[in-house]
Structure 1
Amino acid sequence: MAGLGKTTIAKLVYNDKLVKKHFDEKIWVCVSENFDVKRILREILEALDHNCSGLENKNAILQHLQMKLQGKRYLLILDDVWDEDCEKWDSLRSSLLGINQNNGNDILVTTRKDNVAQIMNTSLIHKLEKLSEDECWLIFKEKEFANERISVTPDLEDIGRKIAKRCGGNPLATRVLGGMMRLKEDKSEWLLIQNSKTWDSMEDNNGVFPILKLSFDHLPTSSLKQCFAYCLIFPKDSIIEKKLLVQLWMTEGFLQTSERSFSVIEDIGNKYFDFLVANSLFQDLERDFYGGIRSCKMQDLVHNLALSISKGETLHLEGNLGDDIDVFHTRRLSLISDDHTTHAIPLSKDGMGRLHTVFLNHVDLGDKFLEFKCVRSLSLFGSCIKELPKSIGNLRHLRILHIKDTYIRFIPNFVTILYSLQTLVIKNCRLLKELPKDLRNLINLRHIDIDNRIFVRMKLPTDIGRLTCLQTLPFFDVGQDIVGQIEELGCLSQLRGELSIYSLEHVRAKEEAKTAKLAEKLKVHKLGFHWCWSGREGNNND
């Protein structure tokens, strides 16, 4: 049964203190329906060393894995396995034995299929049972009565127990339903759910899917429903970064503020995200040091729910992309190549001008970016991308440019004519050395999100202080001359999140330091001060 908590229990094992002490390395790979041995080995390697992402040769992957795991005892989680091809499992098993034959290595598998467990020669099989009626009520009660305005009256408890019983012992269904009921304070609303015709279709999908659909139908606003449906753009089992998701919602116009509202659009997006979390439509939450949610996942059935309500607006294709792709009714497109090599995709022109969001993973569209006249969000992933196509400069409606795991060496200056651009995300592009010199022209930029591994190789362009809408700027390097003076930070009053300031030895006096106006940046929650000790002369006024 879906939603019984197989992945949840595997997570408890994975994060257990005794398990952490016992193993030298722990690795988690979400397999899902695509049991591709090379992909699994590559993800194992990437979990051990982020710098090895993008390797495509299987022998090279195995050599790196052997170096990383030599003499070590490891735990490998293979989550959500479906494939019943014993030859694939034998191939993976022999590869793992070739890497490391230490006694004490363990593999933990989660699957919904008995046959998978038999094929993989599982030594111990644990079948999860349904919850008892009392256990369902405890989960329902914990979710529902998190709303302090609702008190547990005998009438509501009686109705609540009957609703929880109808969840059929499934914890996912119980959590989702309990989250949905948090906003319902009136007894009549509870009775409406208890007597819903949804329960008539409980036999399908083990009773879980109709409950998920009921939860979606009861989301309080159409904007929230749009935000949830949008998440279909991410493949199953993807890690979804909260900050990026909110920015994507923003580009689609889903986050509306009233004229009298003083809320920043991103704050509204954060509230929407938290609401979907409270309704258990997001799971596997990863938190930062401060307890804030950094990322999440969607459970498979929840992903299927998004698919059922998308009305064809989102097209997600993975595997062999050689056939002609019709995008006439599509607003959001995600293409993932199956063999991680460069592909020229035969994309039909009809409808390309209607696309708003495009995700490309190891896919080369050549000059077809010229056809994306209305695209607002563009994500380019994969080592096959070695430079940005010049045609991207024609995407005048583009609001997000997301570049990850590529081999590009610089961001061309033509990007700076994308005057609608609000978000520039660059992650794990280890060869990148240069940002566009005219970055200051992008006056609508709200987020420059670049990881620190890239920063150590380059400087920010001049006049960054002109980007007065900036909320995200993870680092700032103080210039020794007129370029990049500390006073440029003083103009960036909207900064939030994390900020690291480097080369502080170039700040010459107290009054100069004050021009950064750091005390006014109330939403910066982590601040790093960095000095370079080489080349320092005389008495430094730190």
Structure 2
Amino acid sequence: MADAVIGAAVEVALSKAISILEDQINLAWYFKDDLNKLRSSLALTRAFLQDAERRQLVEPVKLWLEQLNDIACKADDVLDELAYEHLRRKVDGQMSKKATELGLQQRVQVSAPVSRGVGGGTHSLVDSSRVVGREADVRKVVDLLIGSTTHQTLSIASIVGMGGLGKTTLAKSICNNGKVHNHFKTIIWVCVAENFDVRRILVEMLESLTRKPCEIKNEDAVIREIQKELREKNFLLVLDDVWDEDIKNWEDLKSSLRGIIESKQSWILATSRSESVALVRETPPDHRHHLNGVEDEECWSIIKERAFGNSPLSPDLEAIGRDIARRCGGVPLVATIIGGTLCNKWDRDEWQQQNMFDGVKLWHSLFLNSGSSFHMVTDFKGLRVLKLVGIVRESLSDSVGKLKHLRYFDISKTHIERLPKSITRLYLLETLRLLGCLRLEQLPGGTKSLVNLRHLYINNGRHVPMEIGCLTNLQTLPLFKVGTERGRGIGELGFLVELGGELEILCLENVRDKEEARGARLWEKKKLHKLRYRWGFWRQGCRKDEEVLEGLEPHSNLKSLTIDYYKGECYPPWLVRKASGDPSACFQPMNLVELKLFRCENVQNLPPLGQYPNLRFLEIEGLKSVRCIGKEFYMNGCDENKPLILFPALEVFTLKKMRELKEWLDVEPAIPVFPSLKVLEINFCDDLNSVPRMSRFSSLEELTVFYCSKLGWMGDEPFSSRLKRLIIKCCTNLRSVPTLDGLSSLLELELCGCEGLTSLPSGLSTCTSLRRLLIDYCINLESVPKDVGQLHSLEELCIVFCGSLKRLLEESLGCLTRLKRLRLGPFSKEVEEFPGLGSIHHLHSSLKELTLSSFGWDKPFSLPFQLQHLTALERLDILEFDGLKALPEWLGNLSSLRILCLEGCGNLVDLPSREALQRLSNLHLFRIYRCPRLEENNRELSKVPCTVNFDYF
């Protein structure tokens, strides 16, 4: 049966052909009929393959389908080569353009032939010194420029034609023409491309004239400088590769040029693909030169020169070459690329080699583990996906740059210390993953050349590429570290218009002011859903944190925001804006779901968040200057026409490390607040002494309060009936807890370090679903009520370090028939025997773990005989019993026991007999720690069976 992958491969290859020809390289004009045939063939191929998959095929048909798949894969690689070459040329053009800013290239002037100005879009690959078949075109445009009788001081001419026909090359040849040099005193070349920015064009004009980078920021000053350079000169201004159709931009440029031009006649020569471009529309019809395709013979000449130079060809190869030339549609670009592909291939058999290594060159995905040989990677020329797993190499070979087709490259969690420079030639790369590369240093210079990169996964600030703003297709960037050097400023983010998902911006202390922060243009990035703003931890002073944060205003689509180590005294207007605020403002809080404010040490008041309609998660930590949570936290004005509900969607609220916070105030009882809150955590708020009434949290399911030592009262009103988890730890001043009456949904109750409690909360017996009850370090607790025996769902009970406790459960313990884990003691030293164990034998079928402890209790003690009935017991810990001298013989009855631990039993002398210990057939570990008298009695220790792991300290 035919493989469905074959159909997919054919479809991908044909679809890519159409896409590349129509969109990427814009060559579809002469191939319209062929494309329509391709579409029809694609539909027929799909239908055939779908039918083939349902049939039992004979071997010849299977073989044919496999060959079809190979052809599709090879076609896919050829089309990739075409796309790669297109991007390479585009990158080369951009690099040429950038070189001026770095002082590495001077723009063309009077005495210099225009041979290095290159277009920003798709441009001809034909050598500018030889314009194949274009001599007539050159003469026609030259005659127009120097022979026109127009009386205008600034005239416009244009060269129009589809991409790949050689418009830029033709313009270069015109500028290099001797007649043009003699006529114009100055020739200026500016590559416009997609971005028709008037100020940029003027700046590049000035740089071309002065041969040095322009430091002037004021546009009028730039115009004045250009005027000085062009005084009493006529000039030719070439605007190459113009795309913009907005007539207003062209009018702005004309207005600026009027201040430059004097009486002498000058010209603008524009190249463009479209008649709709504003500059072309402004050109008189007789000044427009339409560029057509070259003859088939010229295409063959280009192919032959690129592929074979002056070498003679066999008749077979020439016949094939001429047939290919006819299919080029008169487009020099296609002929040049094909010629380069055929370079030095003299034998037909060479086309059979994109089958070596049993077909590995057709493989598209490769996953290597730590035991693989990396040097073989370059044999897989057609790879689209390369993932290195656990590679321990410190570097990669330069040969990785030969993987032209690579789309996905993952070296996460490897030991690689550097990436080769050649990686910057992977122009088709879409995804690069560098997560957890702890040893990897900075990325190589030139990473900005990866113009097709869409997803860069990094979690280390060192791995942010220099001039990342050049990667304009980037959609995923988890991390950006702001630097002070050129190419690392926050303005680089402004160019990444497709950026989405989540982004963390580090080292915001390196942003100088609001205007520089606005250069990131975050308010335009509607695909960004999660942002984290982070300043440096160790820096001194706040510099301009407030205005920087104001300039970082995000788009209203933002769902999650974290602000970390901000040192301003107040939050920006866009964060404190109420939901019904200024509709013209960029950021509206209606979509914000999560907000985290961390370590903003100078802020004295929380922002008003109560009217954020969709805020579900709020975490506030380390705002050490906030002393009161008051009315400002709940609202910023109100709309009288709408019913007011505060924090309508909030589900999780965490207050943490608010060291100076003294009170958290409530609002008027008539105003609903926190109707959806499920989880409330208040941790490490040492000075907090008041919180809202617990009844205000009507949907609360989990309440956790840690280390709030001055919190003495939580109100008399009951908790929410939905409460499932209540944990209060180290609240040493807490004297009472609201009643638990009616909390049938409560699953866990933990009271730890509450020294002020003398009794447990009332209503405990109604918590019929309670599974876990922990009472720990409540040193003034005097009793545990008998109704604990009604907690029939209880699985874990822990009552430890309650030094005032004298009465414990009595016979109630035996009623807890689902109890699996039990920890008891130490208790008051006044009791004569260990309390609460009289009915423990009723737990014989449920209890798995038992710990008994009594620090400093030196009264004579023996294990209660009821313990011998705990036949399900798997672990027994006896801790700190100085009064225990011997373990009983019946210990051998605990047939399920796996772990036995004795610790701090200073007077323990005797173990059970060897026979009793041998009956513990499931015993796996026997641990004895700080039992000195047993150490003296080696005979007793020798009783431990050799089959048991025996630890003795």
Task: Give the TM-score normalised by the residue count of structure 2.
Answer: 0.25
Q: Which structure carries more relative contact order (alpha carbon 8 Å, separation 6+)?
A: 1
Task: Give the TM-score normalised by the residue count of structure 1.
Answer: 0.41
Larger of the two Rg values belongs to structure = 2
Task: Please identify which structure carries the higher helix content.
Answer: 1
